[in-house]
Amino acid sequence: MLNKFLTDRLAKILEFMHPWLIKTLGRDRLEYVASNTTNEVTKKLDPFIWTYDCKAKVIAIRQETSDTKTFVLLPNQHFSDPIAGQHIELTAIGPKGDAARCYTLSEITPETVSITVKLNPQGEVSPWLHDQVAVGQVFNISAARGQFVHRDQQQVLFICAGSGITPAFSMINQLLAQPSTDKASEVGLFYRTQSPENTIFSKRLAQLDSLNKQVKVELSYSRLPVDVVTPSFIDQLIAAYPDIKQQHIYLCGPELFRNDVIQYLESINFDMHNLDVEQFTLPELLQDQQSIKKLDEDVTVLLKSQNINFVIPASDCDKTILEAAELQGITMEHGCRSGMCGSCKTNLVSGEVSGQKIGRSIYPCTAYPASNQLVLE
Amino acid sequence: MAKTMDQSAQDEEYEKIHQAFEAIKQKHRDDLGEKDVRYIKKIRRNSRIFEVIGRSLIHILPGPFALIGVPFLFLHRNLEAIEIGHNVLHGQYDSFDEIPQFHAQNFRWKAPVDETSWRQEHNAVHHVHTNVYEKDPDLNHGFLRVNSQVPHTRLHYFQVPIYLFLFYPFMLYNFNAQNLGVVDKFRKKYFPEGNKGYAVLDESLRLSKAEGKKRHKRAVRRIWAKEYVLFPLLALLTGFGAIKVFLANLLADVMNSYWIALTIQATHFTEPLQPEDAIKNKGKWYISQLDSSVNFKGNRWQSILWGHLNYQVEHHLFPDIPAHRYPDMALEVQAVCQQYNLPYKSNDSWRAAIKKFVGAMWTYSFKNPEVKDEASFLDKAALLNKAALLNNEALLNKEATNVK
Ligand code: FES
Please, which residues have CB within 8 angstroms of residue A328's CB and are 6 or more apart in sequence? A310, A311, A312
**A137 and A37, same structural domain?**
yes
CA A98 to chain CA centroid, nearest Å: 18
Do A76 and A160 lie in one domain? The reply is: no
Same structural domain for residues A185 and A86? no
- Whichever domain contains A316, its CATH number is 3.10.20.30
| Secondary structure string (H, E, C) spanning A68-80 | EEEEEEEECCCCC
Strand (E) or helix (H) holding A23: helix A2-24
B143 by DSSP, 3-state: which?
Answer: coil
d(CA B208, CA B228): 29
Do residues A55 and A107 share a domain?
A: yes
A305 shares its domain with A276: no
Distances (CA, A) of B65 to A103, B58, B238: 59, 8, 18
Please say if the pLDDT value at position A279 is more than 70. no
Phi, psi of A145 (to 5 degrees): -145, 175
In a shared domain, residues A168 and A118 = no
Q: Are strands A308-312 and A215-221 parallel, antiparallel or unpaired?
A: unpaired
For residues A123 and A7, membership in a common domain is answered with: yes
Q: How confident is the model at residue A281 (pLDDT cuts 50, 70, 90)?
A: very low
What domain range includes position B360?
266-403
Q: What per-residue confidence (pLDDT) applies to A194?
A: 87
Interface of A with B in 50-79 (CB under 8 A): 52
The DSSP string of A293-312 is PPTT--EEEEETTTTEEEEE
Asked if residue A307 and residue A268 are part of one domain, the reply reads: no
Do the Cβ atoms of B279 and A39 come within 8 Å?
Answer: no
Are the Cβ atoms of B128 and A343 closer than 8 angstroms?
yes
**CB contact set of B169 (below 8 Å; sequence gap of 6+):** B254, B257, B258
Domain membership of residue A148 (yes or no) is: no
What does the pLDDT read at residue A145? 85
Asked if residue A361 has its Cβ within 6 Å of ligand 1, the reply is: no
- Ligand 1 and A336: CB distance under 6 A: yes
Residue A191 lies in a domain: yes
> Looking at chain A from residue 251 to 290, which residues have their Cβ under 8 Å from any Cβ of chain B?
none
- Asked, for residue B74, whether it belongs to a domain, the answer is no
Confidence bin at A285 (pLDDT 50/70/90) = very low
> Residues of A with CB below 8 A from B32's CB?
358
Q: Are residues A110 and A89 in the same domain?
A: yes
Among A350, A53, A32, A361, which residue's Cα sits nearest to residue B93? Answer: A361
- Say yes or no: A49 and A168 in one domain: no
Domain boundary among A108, A141, A174: A141
How many structural domains does chain B have? 1
Residues 6+ apart with CB under 8 A from B21: B286, B317, B318, B333, B336
Residue A188 in this model has a pLDDT that exceeds 50: yes
Last residue of a domain, one of A114, A141, A168: A141
Q: Considering the domain boundaries, does residue A45 fall inside one?
A: yes
Look at residue A26 and tell me if it is in a domain. yes
Q: Sort out which chain B residues have CB atoms less than 8 A from A38's CB and list them.
A: 101
Given a contact cutoff of 8 angstroms between Cβ atoms, the answer to whether A141 and A243 are in contact is no
Domain boundary among A87, A111, A141: A141
A38 closest CB neighbour out of B29, B101, B103: B101
Distance CA A291, CA A333 (A): 27
Domain assignment present for residue A149? The answer is no
Long-range contacts of B153-156 (CB under 8 A, 24+ apart): B153/B191, B153/B192, B156/B364, B156/B365, B156/B367
A80 reaches B (C-beta below 8 A)? no
Integer Cα distance of A167 and A106 in angstroms: 6
The reply to whether A208 falls in a domain is yes
B377 phi and psi angles, rounded to 5 deg: -55, -40
pLDDT tens per residue across span A91-129: 988 767 788 888 999 999 999 999 999 998 888 888 999
A358 touches B at CB < 8 Å = yes
Range of the domain at A75: 2-141
Task: Please say if the pLDDT value at position A185 is more than 80.
Answer: no
Rounded to a whole number of angstroms, the distance from the CA of A336 to the nearest CA of chain B is 6
Q: What is the CATH number of the domain that holds A27?
A: 2.40.30.10
Question: What's the one-letter identity of residue B58?
Answer: I
pTM of the model: 0.86
Q: Is position B330 within any domain?
A: yes
Cα–Cα dist B285/B280, whole Å: 7
- B106 contacts in chain A (CB < 8 Å): 35, 52
How far apart are the C-alpha atoms of B302 and B319, rounded to whole Å?
20
So what's the pLDDT on residue A283?
42
User: What pLDDT score was predicted for residue A228?
Assistant: 62
Q: Per the domain annotation, does A216 fall within a domain?
A: yes
In a domain, A266, yes or no: yes
Contact B107 A359 (CB under 8 A): no
Residue-averaged pLDDT of chain A: 86
Mean pLDDT of A272-300: 64
In this structure, the answer to whether residues A115 and A163 fall within a common structural domain is no
Q: How far, in Å, CA of B266 to CA of A11, rounded?
A: 48
A355 Cβ closer than 6 Å to some ligand 1 atom = no
Q: Classify residue B314: in a domain, yes or no.
A: yes
**Mean pLDDT within A147-174:** 88
Task: Decide if B291 is inside a domain.
Answer: yes
- Tens-of-pLDDT digits for all 404 residues of chain B? 334 446 788 888 899 999 999 999 999 999 999 999 999 999 999 999 999 999 999 999 998 999 999 999 999 999 999 999 999 999 999 999 999 999 999 999 999 999 999 998 999 999 999 999 999 988 888 899 999 899 999 999 999 999 999 999 999 999 888 888 888 888 888 898 988 989 888 777 777 888 888 999 999 999 999 999 999 999 999 999 999 999 999 999 999 999 999 999 999 989 999 998 888 999 999 999 999 999 999 999 999 999 999 999 999 999 999 999 999 999 999 999 999 989 999 999 999 999 999 999 999 999 888 778 788 888 776 555 655 555 555 555 555 454 44
- CATH classification at residue A276: 3.40.50.80
pLDDT of res. B68: 96
User: How many domains, in total, are found in chain A?
Assistant: 3
